[in-house]
Amino acid sequence: MKLLCTLALSLFMIASRVRAFDRPPALATPGTESKQPAESLAISGFRDIPAEVAIENKFLAVPDPKLAEAHLRTLTQAPHIAGSPEDKATANYVAAKFREAGLDTAIVEYKVWLNYPSEIRVDMTAPPGVEMHGPRPEHVDDDPFQDDSRITPGFNGMSPSGDVEADVVYANYGSPDDFDKLKELNVDVRGKIVIVRYGENFRGVKAFVAQERGAAGVIIYSDPKDDGYYRGDAYPKGPWRPASGVQRGSVGFMFQFPGDPTTPGIASTPLLPDSKRISPADSAELPRIPVTPLSYADASPILEHLGGPLSPREWQGALPFTYHVGPGPAKVRIHLKQDYQYRTIWDVTGKVPGTSAPDEWVVAGNHRDAWVYGAVDPNSGTAALLETVHGVGELLKSGWKPKRTIVFASWDAEEEGLIGSTEWGEDHAQELANAAAYFNMDVAVSGKKFGAAGVPTLKEFLREIAMAVPSPQGGTVFDAWKKANEPKAGSSHTPESSGSNYRMPASGLHADVPVGDLGSGSDYTVFLQHLGVPSTDIGSTGDYGVYHSAFDNFAWFKKFGDPDFLYEQQMARVYGLEVLRMANADVLPYNYEDYGKEILIYLDAAKSKAQDKFGDKAPNFTAALEGARHLQEAGAKILQKQRKIPQDPARINGKLRDAERALLIPEGLPNRPWYRHAIYAPGQYTGYAAVVIPGVNEAIDRGDLRRTEEQIAVLAAALNRALIVLEQYR
Ligand SMILES: [Zn+2]
């Protein structure tokens, strides 16, 4: 049925594409035009589809590439790290645009524990005759933004201060497997400075594992193989990382808990008494060993002067010498003085009150703070968000009102540890218990490849939205998305450095148009994984090697990101339709049948992993498998009722909302109680990527049979709670 629907739709879209592109795509046209016909669209949850389509068409006509460009130019005119006066100026700009659109706007302050770099030095002290004094400033032949004195040196957020000198060991990507490999090679990392390359896992995981294994300090560098000249031409000739480009970034242990490191589970409001805060020295979010990043220009002499065993061949990067693992004779001194203080940050929120279901908030957020200029990360998202708000503002001016309350949010201090969103989420936990959805957009555009991630209940919703928005490539976003995922589409690669997490679902459901799972690495974390609000994340990605460097600026974006801002327009439209549909739907468009199906697939994978690990002692998965199967059946049943659109949908909507909350584990995951979702968490050893059914999978990975059994029971109980909520609706 789904197939037929899609086919009819794409046939229509082919026809409409011809119409929309009759005219040459001249500069004068405000991007791609969009008009959808009421009758052939897949829109779940509405009684009067033509009325909804009319509203959506009105909205889709508003987002404007030229205005998105103007927003991005303004937002990125100066470096604006969280808590700085320049960051405040961007908050004021966003607040002014929210007000212009008629939103009930507030700048919300939190007081949070943040470091700025005060003294950052990495010096080679051996072998004799080799010199390296870093980090050297980022510089290329021609870039209009690189000489601003407000650009910080390369540094890692949440690293402690420290002064250590030691022999160096190379540990590839710094994963547990990499450290195990070093052990096999008889290389002892205790007391050493470990140098690892960016990529494969979250940098906080690299710091965490190095600390666990007894390293004295960590250097994280960008190897040209991962996002530099090996991938293509380096900036300014191409989009990849130049020799001096440094990836800043937080090394906080966000897989323990995100947000202000001194207030797990509570909001860092300006008036919060100090007695309610934990001491930074006791915070599970903060690393204990100094960690700092380097460009490959600075890292190269260190790696070149490592002796010891030849590195495993797959550890070889793209620098022009053979990599060895050490230890020594390269010796390095890391000297870090971090300026830690409680600093004020500024979230901006803009509300539109709902008419018939004002308590069911639809929250849509993007972060605004950047390590430097942040043209791609995150302000491509902010510019798109502002055009979404522009469109909603036009609807408001025409007298339209949403059924549910819409809250647009511009988060601060995401880069340091998802801080602005986490504090706000903790601050509004009560109201958010009734929220309908959280929609995230971080990097809106670094290229042309659309991607999305979300809870299984919203995966079909995301596909339906993509079917209603035109792509600058012709056809719809859905068509382009599908095409890019066809096996022949080539080696389109989403680097870790895109900061996105749009991976194939483990399930392979609708493998032609894959919607990823939500791990961590952006602001949906508190909403989904702490509060149980169904969430999605969207972005359009491409070749992008300047992540978290001074070169992620307006000049790069104009040249390589989205020169005509047509993908900015696309993302503003997709984001806006997510918000409008969720805020207007008669019946919430969640699909619990899909949820049950995916959990079954996760469980099957975990079961065979457990069999490999524990042999004939492998635990019994029946209770959890039965729970997932019944959830799928109950999901299918309630879906039939959802499709009929009950006369008074308040009751069915209440059940649909509560079912996701029922998947929260009251006591949280083992050893990290802040994370309460039974199905999704960031991996303790992967960081960005989702670990599905995390309690069970991580217990198996540890080889802990008793905990595995216990966590299967915890999961089965959560699935049964969700099931009962759905079955209560008759
Ligand atoms: Zn970001």
Q: What's the Cα-to-Cα distance from 438 to each of 358, 406, 523, 528, rounded to whole Å?
A: 15, 10, 10, 8
Q: Which pTM value belongs to this model?
A: 0.92
What's the pLDDT score for residue 2?
32
197 Cα: distance to centroid of ligand 1 (angstroms): 20
687 Cα: distance to centroid of ligand 1 (angstroms): 15
What's the pLDDT score for residue 488?
55
What's the pLDDT score for residue 686?
73
* DSSP one-letter code for 266: S
H or E, element range at 178: helix 176-184
538 Cα: distance to centroid of ligand 1 (angstroms): 12
What's the pLDDT score for residue 709?
97
78 Cα: distance to centroid of ligand 1 (angstroms): 17
374 Cα: distance to centroid of ligand 1 (angstroms): 8
722 Cα: distance to centroid of ligand 1 (angstroms): 32
What's the pLDDT score for residue 35?
65
Distance of CA 516 to the CA centre of its chain: 11
Residue from 292, 317, 295 nearest 306 by CA: 317
Active-site residue list: 414
List of residues 6+ apart from 253 with CB closer than 8 A: 204, 207, 208, 284, 285, 286, 287
Residue from 413, 423, 444 nearest 539 by CA: 444
What's the pLDDT score for residue 519?
77
Contact yes or no for 568/562 (Cβ under 8 A): yes
Residue from 90, 42, 103 nearest 363 by CA: 103
366 Cα: distance to centroid of ligand 1 (angstroms): 8
547 Cα: distance to centroid of ligand 1 (angstroms): 9
What's the pLDDT score for residue 350?
98
622 Cα: distance to centroid of ligand 1 (angstroms): 40
586 Cα: distance to centroid of ligand 1 (angstroms): 33
Contact yes or no for 132/298 (Cβ under 8 A): yes
| Maximum CA extent, the chain | 82
SS3 243: coil
Low-confidence ranges of the chain (pLDDT < 70): 1-41, 488-511, 687-688
User: Between β-strands 437-445 and 156-157, what pairing exists: parallel, antiparallel or unpaired?
Assistant: unpaired
Q: How far apart are CA 604 and CA 598, in angstroms?
A: 10
Q: How far apart are CA 356 and CA 105, in angstroms?
A: 21
Rg (CA), the chain: 25
578 Cα: distance to centroid of ligand 1 (angstroms): 20
Q: How far apart are CA 82 and CA 250, in angstroms?
A: 12
* DSSP one-letter code for 234: B
367 Cα: distance to centroid of ligand 1 (angstroms): 7
* Helices and strands (DSSP H and E) totals, the chain: 22, 16
Contact yes or no for 316/324 (Cβ under 8 A): no
410 Cα: distance to centroid of ligand 1 (angstroms): 12
555 Cα: distance to centroid of ligand 1 (angstroms): 18
What's the pLDDT score for residue 730?
84
Q: How far apart are CA 261 and CA 68, in angstroms?
A: 34
SS3 669: strand
What's the pLDDT score for residue 165?
98
Which residue stretches of 101-237 are H helix?
176-184, 203-212, 224-227
341 Cα: distance to centroid of ligand 1 (angstroms): 22
